[in-house]
Amino acid sequence: MISIKDHKQGYLLDPWDYVGPKRRRRMEESWAGFFQREILCKLPTDKFAKAFTADFGRPTKELHTILGVLLLQQMHDLTDEETVDQAAFNLQWHYALNIPEESDEAKYICLKTLWSMRKAVTDMGLDMEMFTNLTDTLATLFKVDMSKQRLDSVHIMSNMRHLGRIGIFTRSIHKFLVNLKRQRSECFTEFEKEQTELVNRYLTEKALGCFSMVKPAESEKTLSMVSQDLYLLVERFHSHQEVASLHSYQLLCRVLNEQCTIRDEESLGAIAIPKAGKEVSSASLQNPSDPDATYDSHKGQGYQFQVMETYCDSEDQAVKEKTLNLITHVQLEKASEHDAHAVIPALEDTAARGCVPQQLLADSLYGSDDNTQKAKALGTELISPVMKGSITKDKLYLHDFQFAPNGQIAACPVGQAPLKIIKQKKQRYSIAFSSEQCRCCPNASICPVKPGSKHHYLRCSEKAMRLAPRRIMEHTPEFRDKYRWRAGIEATFSGMDRTTGIKHLRIRGFTAVRFCICMKALATNLLRATRVRNALWGPCLLPETLFASLRRLFLVIKEQCTAKFKSRCVVCRVFCITTLNQAA
């Protein structure tokens, strides 16, 4: 059974009149009033209802309430227990979710229901749909200018422990032995008789804690030992179909493939040799409790969260307060992903929704030549510094030359114009200069122009010809004036972390983390929209019920009509008299 309430339908009598005008006004001016008026009725309950059966089973909790509670939980960074309490007792939550009645059916949500509903939303992918639909609603409501946006990423840590290489091996073995004992007890008993010492080494938490006290001088020896133990377990059960189907066994195989090399020794047979640290991929397993988390050499273990938002480039503080900076695109990635891969998906996503920017600010990791060309094809100017590379001060480079507005070289560093520009195959250029002037040039030893058969030539690729004007542009006041607004996205990340706790989550797994970041980004948009609404429209007026509207209407009728209500329609006359008597 599906329970959905129509929140667009008004009340004949005000159900919130017991709150009092001062508290009511405070709630109207807070996020709760804005949530009830603009967000609640637009939650995708029609698509969420597909997860349930209309004519079978117990009635569900009201679906608007469920989706709203899941959003508010991430907004306030609450545990499940705290969320149940807030939904049951917090008047502001009741006002936001439009639950005036005092009943357990309306206001109480058990932990099991909260878990199962959240899983259903995650499995259906409604988290991304809620973010995009409600964000587009806010963009239309506040007429957000989408022409200027900025893009950056932030590192996210799921609810997992930082483990070194020894910890990854030992925790994976421990998890496998525990699951083997629970699910395949006969296999575990047989293996325990064969390898009692190995089982005792990893199965108990006390024995497992000894690996955290390994001396640095003994770490290599310990790593070799645990590698061999892991290889023994993989070989022992690889032909056992029931054991090999366990998720924990598959993690053992993954650790072995990513961290070890199998080598055949004449005296010992096949042994597992740990790879050097540099040979291990950044996409390798970081913790058995969260197999989706990967590693970034700069930020560490976890995930990364791509965010694109609009910004206001006005210096007037009053204009800033009345302009909504809206997060338009979010994307969860593994920490091992490079930032350069996030630009085009972000532009394609916003283009499909009609909010693609004309200017996009990003740091140098996003500003590759390939991204710049693809962004230009989508109608976006990607404003980003070029990666510096290996540039020394005792040499001249292509960006030291003078370029014409069309992107061609106009003169060398000393002002000599080229004789001709030849475009060769494989997207390469040869720019010819006068040999007589080049031989006498004081910069001949450090100049990239080299002597040829007829002239001196500067040979470079078409990509280098595009990057050089960008390097020159970076030092101009116009570029600095545009690019300085990129730093504002760091304040967005800081605010999201303080408000919603986005950098340290309570969950694990890619889909669960994606759900959290979508809800937290949407909550950030909601809080920003509330502040801008108050700045634009001033103090909020208390909403008027249908009865109050009718009362005002018929008071006007009473003044304009005679006391006997000379209405030709008897029904209208009775209705007017009845309503006026109630209003009086």
User: Long-range contact list for 376-385, CB < 8 A, 24+ apart?
Assistant: 378/344, 378/347, 378/348, 378/351, 379/351, 380/347, 380/356, 382/343, 383/359, 383/479, 383/482, 383/483, 383/486, 385/474, 385/483
d(CA 542, CA 410): 67
Question: How distant, in Å, are the alpha carbons of 164, 234, 238, 246 from that of 250?
Answer: 20, 9, 10, 7
Return mean pLDDT, the chain.
87
Phi, psi dihedrals of residue 380, rounded to the nearest 5°: -120, 135
Only one residue has tokens 């640290």, namely 277
3-class SS letters over 220-268:
HHHHHHHHHHHHHHHHHHCCCHHHHCCHHHHHHHHHHHHHEEEEEECCC
Q: Are 211 and 170 in contact (CB under 8 A)?
A: yes
Q: What pLDDT does 267 receive?
A: 66
pLDDT range class, residue 549, cuts 50, 70, 90: low
What is the residue type of 561? C
Q: What pLDDT does 550 receive?
A: 62
Q: Is the pLDDT of residue 306 over 70?
A: yes
Q: Are 148 and 310 in contact (CB under 8 A)?
A: yes
Any idea what DSSP says for residue 449?
-
Only one residue has tokens 């469920």, namely 66
Q: Is the pLDDT of residue 564 over 60?
A: no
Residue 109: name the closest of 90, 130, 127, 126 by CA.
90
Q: What pLDDT does 496 receive?
A: 93
3-class SS letters over 13-59:
CCCCCCCCHHHHHHHHHCHHHHHHHHHHHHCCHHHHHHHCCCCCCCC
d(CA 340, CA 366): 4
Q: Are 269 and 193 in contact (CB under 8 A)?
A: no
Q: How far apart are the first and last CA of the chain?
A: 43
Tokens of 393: 């001060």
Q: What is the mean pLDDT of residues 406-415?
A: 84
Least confidently predicted of 55-64, 202-211, 499-508: 202-211
Q: Give 332's contacts (C-beta < 8 A, 6+ positions apart).
A: 156, 303, 304, 305, 306, 510, 513, 514, 517
Counting residues of the chain whose pLDDT is more than 70, the rounded percentage is: 90
Beta bridge partners of 3: none
Tokens of 123: 């499995």
Q: Is the pLDDT of residue 303 over 60?
A: yes
Q: What is the mean pLDDT of residues 140-160?
A: 93
d(CA 489, CA 148): 13
Residue 73: name the closest of 554, 375, 515, 576 by CA.
515
Alpha-carbon Rg for the chain, nearest whole angstrom, is 33
d(CA 279, CA 312): 45
How, if at all, do strands 148-156 and 359-361 pair?
parallel
Q: Which helix (H) or strand (E) holds 175?
A: helix 165-183
Q: Is the pLDDT of residue 206 over 70?
A: no
Q: 3-state DSSP call for residue 394?
A: coil
Quote the Cα angle for 133-134-138, to 5°: 120
The sign of the dihedral angle between the CA atoms of 170, 172, 177, 182 is positive
Question: How distant, in Å, are the alpha carbons of 313, 389, 413 from that of 429?
Answer: 39, 21, 18
Tokens of 13: 């009598």
φ/ψ region of 501 (left if φ > 0, alpha if ψ in -120 to 50, else beta) reads: left
Q: Write down the pTM of the prediction.
A: 0.86
pLDDT range class, residue 456, cuts 50, 70, 90: confident
Q: Is the pLDDT of residue 13 over 70?
A: yes
d(CA 158, CA 146): 32
Tell me the range of 383-392, 403-412, 448-457, 471-480 where mean pLDDT is highest: 471-480
Q: Is the pLDDT of residue 103 over 70?
A: yes
d(CA 200, CA 171): 14
Q: Is the pLDDT of residue 325 over 70?
A: yes
Q: What is the mean pLDDT of residues 532-550?
A: 72
Quote the Cα angle for 257-263-266, to 5°: 155
Q: What pLDDT does 333 receive?
A: 94
- For the CA atoms of 398, 403, 408, 411, what is the dihedral angle to 10 degrees? -80
Q: Is the pLDDT of residue 69 over 50?
A: yes
Q: What pLDDT does 583 receive?
A: 47
Q: What is the mean pLDDT of residues 379-399?
A: 83
Phi, psi dihedrals of residue 197, rounded to the nearest 5°: -65, -40
Q: What is the mean pLDDT of residues 505-517?
A: 94
Q: Is the pLDDT of residue 575 over 60?
A: no
Name the segment(s) of the chain with CATH classification 3.30.420.10. Answer: 139-159+302-385+474-543
Q: Are 182 and 239 in contact (CB under 8 A)?
A: no
Tell me which architecture the domain covering 139-159+302-385+474-543 has in CATH: 2-Layer Sandwich (3.30)
Tokens of 62: 């009201």
Least confidently predicted of 16-20, 324-328, 344-348, 512-516: 16-20
Q: Is the pLDDT of residue 469 over 80?
A: yes
Only one residue has tokens 């483990």, namely 163
d(CA 198, CA 83): 43
d(CA 479, CA 477): 6
